[in-house]
Chain A
Amino acid sequence: MSTNEKNESRDRGKAPSGERVADWADGRLGIYSLAKANMRKIFPDHWSFMLGEICLYSFIIIILTGVYLTLFFHPSMNEVEYHGSYVPLQGQLMSEAFSSTLHISFDVRGGLLIRQIHHWAALVFLAGMFVHMMRVFFTGAFRKPREVNWLFGFLLFVLGMFTGFTGYSLPDDLLSGTGVRFMEGAILSVPIVGTYLSFFLFGGEFPGGDFVARFYSIHILLLPGIMLGLVVGHLILVFYHKHTQFAGPGRTNKNVVGMPLMPVYMAKAGGFFFLVFGVIAAVSAIATINPIWAMGPYRPDQVSTGAQPDWYMGFSEGLIRVMPGWEVNFWGHTLVLGVFIPLMIFPLVLVAIAVYPFIESWVTGDKREHHILDRPRNAPTRTAFGVAWMTWYFVLLIGGGNDLWATHFHLSINSITWFVRIAFFVAPVVAFIVTKRICLGLQRRDKDKVLHGRESGIIKRLPHGEFIEVHEPLSQDALYTLTAHEQYEPAEIGPTVDENGVERKVKGSEKLRARLSKAYYGEESQIPKPSVEEYKEITSGHGHH
């Protein structure tokens, strides 16, 4: 500010109160420069870029409702006799955890609604993260510089799964107790240390009197604390990297075309928060979730059919349900492969998708930054891998719900189990091949559209009697959008003999990389996009329609 302006402002008298508050805060917090740098941050417009927001908002809703629930929940396994208002459990013995959950559901004002919002929001949170992750995957948004943020997001998904699982276990009802029992069994199957781990976790024999209090600390403190940190880091990185955008005229790797955070996205995002809250609250008011009163208190000697975990743990249930009950006995020890193998595959399923970005960047050897998103069809191998992974995941979900598939589709549960066993190996391969072919087909269609224009549906008869369909040329914008993607050349192994004629040893990893690169970008895996020459040749009107 110049001296003149200063004088003028002094002449105007006292600044308005809002400005004085801002001044006061800026003098102490230095927020002006931070806000100046970030408030006008540009975000591109696309509905799929709002999937992450759904996750963020449902996470906030979970925290808010969770705080309310902690006010009434007693994380204790002391045995009490129930004398609340739910008649079919009158006089039953149960843990304090279960009875306080009944109390929240029936005797705390708004308790049941808050419980249902908390639980529905958790299911939506995980589903939102899944879809958000797939959006990032299929558009290649995980490429440099966003690999770390991809891992942050992945960790959030995995931690979300375990936060959900510990929360689902807290009411100590018959359903969740069966889930905890299953977890105990899985831990016990670990060779050598399994029993020690189980006794350490449960403070002795299952179920003991400790696990609810321990899960409570993990559920409300440890995991959400880590997740909150990751969410903040995730968002800081989104700001730092700036948002990706789809290709289009005027959009380059160096700019972002969209609307500024302040005021447009502030309004949109703020409004969207209330819409998310509204939808989740409406769902929670319409449909019940986890009706623990119907399930009854947990007792290790009872079990019900249809005992499944929440959907995000469903694939692990599938792994265990379809695994043959193999067992090895030696020197008086038993190795329960029927449980231990699924326990080992469980992290593998998750890691398979998490490490993919690193595999792809190794194959391409591309060290450049990418801020323009791919259309899934233009990266056929990646898209095929993603669909194969989702197929794998879905096949396991079928396994996890095999009993309900059996009763609702009048099938034999044994046939479903065998289907899942075979499909576990076969379905991803089929999905990979089919998806890749579809992508290539779509690429051919794009090429056709660029070179020959859009089919107008108008049939024209030429003077000599021939019928042709009139093709409308695409607009310049559309042409740009369809041809903006770049296509990699398959990597070669390079010269094996140097300038002095000395032969160099070719490493196995180099050969593998060349092979993979050929599989990714060879003739079989991408349709060369139309070149300018081709376009000119065809549109010049010599000998073409």
Chain B
Amino acid sequence: MFAPADKAQADDTAQSLAIDEGKKLYAVGCASCHGTGGQGTSDGPSLVGVGSAAVDFQVGTGRMPAQQPGAQVPKKKVVYSQAEIDQLAAYISSLGAGPTVPTEQQYSPEGADIAEGGELFRTNCAQCHNFTGKGGALTNGKSAPSLEDVDPKHIYEAMQTGPQNMPSFPDTTLSEQNKKDIIAYLDAVNSDDTESPGGLELGGLGPVSEGLFAWVFGLGALIAVAVWVAARTAKAKKS
């Protein structure tokens, strides 16, 4: 008679345990800015309804907890373990429904269309992140970070939740398959395994770094050569 209830209670307990632990972590690491109940303060936004995906992204990339106020909170060393991040996420999602952490099947680049992803990336992302996700400047000291070697899960979560200055791209805007395609494109053009067929990429930043390179190493080398040639005259004595 009590058996089914027991089972249900056991499930609840695991979940509520995680929430409890998460709440304790939250009180120590997050509450000073986001408020004791996640309602937000003048120093940090409300976390009600941001979902576990937002927590996993912000804490999992080291952006949160923030070090100092500024134009933007940068990526840094991750301070929580994945288990702790999951507990924090459980607590935050208990405050209100929001996007959840994607499963590996959702974000893995397997079986995605790279070319389609490239077109989507150039249409939706390149304005801020550059052609192949090398990053770019935004107003007043903010910036769109480089996407080189970012964990596919974090790319997926960023699209879902729109962290900081980024707009969010929910499934109604970019479908699950679209997100997968974009991740596959980034994996192809901007990761450790990416080949640059023409040689050094020079940061992949376009004509500014190319111009600098042409001046310093192209013309610089040629002037050095010119000095060398001019120093060798046909005179018998060499000074």
Contact = CB atoms under 8 A, between A and B. Distances in A.
B137 A105 contact: no
Contacts of B198: 105, 112, 116, 287-289, 291
Nearest to B71: A412
Nearest to A93: B119
B229 A275 contact: yes
Contacts of A305: 126-130, 136-137, 144
Contact of A279 (B139, B143, B218): B218
B219 A124 contact: yes
Contact of B126 (A45, A53, A303, A404): A303
Contacts of B71: 412
Prevailing SS type, chain B contact patch: helix
Interface residues of B, number: 61
Interface string A294-326: 111001011111111111001000000000000
B210 interface: yes
A89 B231 contact: no
B188 interface: yes
A271 to B, nearest CB: 7
B115 A279 contact: no
A301 B127 CA distance: 11
Interface string B170-210: 00000000000000010011000000111111101111111
Contacts, number: 205
B222 A271 contact: no
Interface of A: 45-51, 53-54, 87-92, 105-106, 112, 116, 120, 123-124, 127-128, 131, 174-175, 259, 264, 268, 271-272, 275-276, 279-280, 283-291, 293-296, 299, 301-311, 314, 400-404, 406-407, 410-414
Given A272-B229, A286-B199, A288-B200, A302 B122 contact: yes
Contacts of B231: 47
A123 B218 contact: yes
A477 to B, nearest CB: 13
A322 to B, nearest CB: 14
A127 B213 CA distance: 11
A234 to B, nearest CB: 18
A88 B208 contact: no
Contacts of B204: 291, 294
B28 interface: no
A410 B142 CA distance: 9
A124 B229 contact: no
Given A289-B210, A296-B131, A404 B219 contact: no
Given A276-B225, A414-B141, 8 more contacts: A53-B226, A91-B115, A123-B218, A174-B131, A275-B222, A287-B200, A291-B204, A308-B207
6 contacts: A88-B188, A288-B197, A288-B198, A296-B119, A299-B122, A302-B126
A92 B115 contact: yes
The 6 tightest CB contacts between A and B, nearest first, are A311-B211, A288-B198, A305-B136, A123-B214, A47-B230, A403-B137
